[in-house]
Amino acid sequence: MAAVENSTKVVLGGTRGGPEVPTLRQDRWRIQPMVTAGILTSFIIYSTWAAFQNRYYYVGASFGRDLISPFYSPCIGGVCVPGAKAGFALNWFRLSPALLILIFPLGFRFTCYYYRRSYYRAFWFSPPACAVADAHGKYSGETRFPLVMQNLHRYFFYAGLVFNTLLTIDAVEAFREPGIGWGVSVGTVVLCVNAVLLWMYSLSCHACRHLLGGHVKSFKAHPIRYRFWKFLTPLNAKHMNLAWASLLFVGFADIYVRLVASGAITDYKIF
Amino acid sequence: MADVTMRIWRGDATGGDFENYTIALNEGEVVLDIIHRIQATDAPDLACRWNCKAGKCGSCSAEINGKPRLMCMTRMDQLPEGPVTVTPMKAFPIIRDLVTDVSFNFEMAKRVPALLPPPMPEGGYRMFQQDVERGQEFRKCIECFLCQDVCHVIRDHEENKKNYAGPRFFIRYAELEMHPLDTNDRRELLKEEMGLGYCNITKCCTEVCPEHIHITDNAIIPLKERVVDADYDPVAWLGRKIRRRTKKTAAEASVQPAP
């Protein structure tokens, strides 16, 4: 390219100043990657265990409730518990339905710009913290397979919107109390908060902000997209907080439904 | 008035080491004040680059206790107790003491294809406030190059300097790509030559920016999304074909003279 050919070459090498040590930072920079690694590892272990359980994910008519775990919704496998089945089923799939479903939300989170920052630091040490040496001798970033696949983030975002819609329907259905009528229980609140947090996490996504308005060159020429962009920009600034809140709460929602379904706790009615 | 011990890297391309200076500390002083006092008393040959002493010229970049910072904006009373370590920026070759050769950045600046506006319409070019505001954040850059220094892509991998513009220039690319009068398309250049894909979003550039520019969220990620539009999104590609929206490639555009 002309601009590149006309410029002089970048001179590599040259002696750098300072001592040859991984870092001179004196603060407790290890804490953040350790906490991140701890929470993400715990979530991965729990969600894997929960996905293979294939039971206690639905609180149905026998409890006078209609609560389904977000890990198992929509229940489209061939072995769903009675009452949990979605409108259609993949009858040939005999394993836990969570194994089918979790691919999409986990893919969305795995390719999320915020989580990338977190796990590159916490697990890959590339770098573990700012101004701390990268743990790898060679570095190609996200230019090659498999990390070039991070560019598929927007497709997982689209899939995430479908799941958010389904979990919102679940939250609305959680107001149903089979055999009783309608009401609000703690489980209803849990599923509603879960749906709200997931929507906020998705809407604060960088891909969402780009697709709904950020991609245009002129805001003046696209006033509606400009409004979307203006609305999403402050939400985007909270993406990290929403990423953690929605992750922890979706795990909590599964635990809550699991405990109620197994009879360990009672889902108290609020009104 | 308490004393403070400063561990300052002294040396040049042939080698160097830390030297300790114990010096009186006055209330409200910043690291650059101490460096100047050491120059005035103990070490008149201590080299450091500075100019405005107000956080606006971007000259006095260094690493204080291992963190890239402006010496003139780092208050001594906000540093932890104990010796204060001051070293030159690690990503660039040393010239002497705290002064580094930052010419890598000027080479990368030359490679940025200029704004390419359409032919002047009758009445002249017009830009509206909402479009002006969008690029305003990027124009706050004082070119201290702390973001370049902290970026592990070149800090820890010298070989990547050949094909990596770095955060400072990604905000320049973003400003141009978001300019309503620009017809240039730099996406191919960003992907193939400027190493946008090397950035793995660890946000260190944003953390160290003294102007608090949201480099990652507002510049690098939008650029990555634009590259996805161009190269990884078949739906967007089809949309462009149907609407016959054509843009110049970076190769075509880069030969155009700057306005």
- Tell me if A7 and B88 make a contact (CB, 8 A cut-off): no
Q: What is the DSSP secondary structure assignment for residue B20, as one 8-state letter? A: E
A145 and chain B in contact, CB less than 8 A: no
Position B249 scores a pLDDT of: 46
Contacts of B85 in chain A (CB under 8 A): 24, 26
pLDDT (tens digit per residue) in B168-184: 999 999 999 999 999 99
> Residues near B76 by Cβ (< 8 Å), separated by ≥ 6?
B4, B25, B29, B30, B31, B33, B34, B84
Domains B2-100 and B103-253 share a fold: no
Side chain identity, residue B247: K
pTM reported for the whole predicted model = 0.92
What is the 3-state secondary structure of B53-88?
Answer: CCCCCCCCEEEECCEEEEHHHCEHHHCCCCCEEEEC
Side chain identity, residue A22: P
Contacts of A153 in chain B (CB under 8 A): 228
Angle in degrees, CA B100, B103, B108, rounded to 5: 135
Identity of the residue in B108, B217, B250 whose CB atom sits nearest the CB atom of A206:
B217
B77 and chain A in contact, CB less than 8 A: no
- Tell me if B156 and A139 make a contact (CB, 8 A cut-off): yes
B33 and chain A in contact, CB less than 8 A: no
Identity of the residue in A24, A214, A220 whose CB atom sits nearest the CB atom of B85:
A24
Most confident of A86-100, B14-28, B244-258: B14-28
For residue A177, list its beta bridge partners. Answer: A181
Contacts of B113 in chain A (CB under 8 A): 3
A64 and chain B in contact, CB less than 8 A: no
- Report residue B255's pLDDT band, with 50, 70 and 90 as the boundaries: very low
Q: How far is B245 from chain A (nearest CA, A)?
A: 13
pLDDT (tens digit per residue) in B56-95: 999 999 999 999 999 999 999 999 999 999 999 999 999 9
Position B244 scores a pLDDT of: 65
Q: How far is B47 from chain A (nearest CA, A)?
A: 13
- Tell me if A117 and B134 make a contact (CB, 8 A cut-off): no
Rounded Cα distance, A174 and A183, in Å: 9
- Tell me if B180 and A143 make a contact (CB, 8 A cut-off): no
CATH of the structural domain B103-253, one choice from 3.30.1180.10, 1.10.1060.10, 3.90.550.10, 3.20.20.70: 1.10.1060.10
Q: How far is A113 from chain B (nearest CA, A)?
A: 7
- Tell me if B200 and A120 make a contact (CB, 8 A cut-off): yes
CATH of the structural domain B2-100, one choice from 3.40.190.10, 1.10.10.10, 3.40.50.1820, 3.10.20.30: 3.10.20.30
For residue B18, list its beta bridge partners. Answer: B9
Instruction: Determine if the peptide bond prior to A74 is cis (ω within 30°).
Output: yes
Q: What is the mean pLDDT of each run of 10 residues along chain A (271 residues)?
A: 52 85 95 97 97 93 92 86 76 85 94 97 96 94 94 94 95 91 95 98 97 94 96 97 98 97 94 87
Side chain identity, residue A50: A
Domain ranges, ordered by start, for chain B:
2-100, 103-253
Rounded Cα distance, A246 and A239, in Å: 10
Mean pLDDT over the full length of chain B: 92
In DSSP notation, A125-184 reads -SSSSTTS--S-S---TTSSTTGGGGGGHHHHHHHHHHHHHHHHHHHHHTTEETTTEE--
B142's tokens: 């004082």
Cα→Cα distances A161→A203, A209, B21, Å? 9, 14, 60
Q: How many CB pairs lie under 8 A apart between chains A and B?
A: 206
pLDDT average, residue stretch B230-257: 64
Rama region for A95: left / alpha / beta (φ>0; ψ in -120 to 50; rest): beta
Interface test with A, best of B81, B228, B231 (most A CBs within 10 A): B228
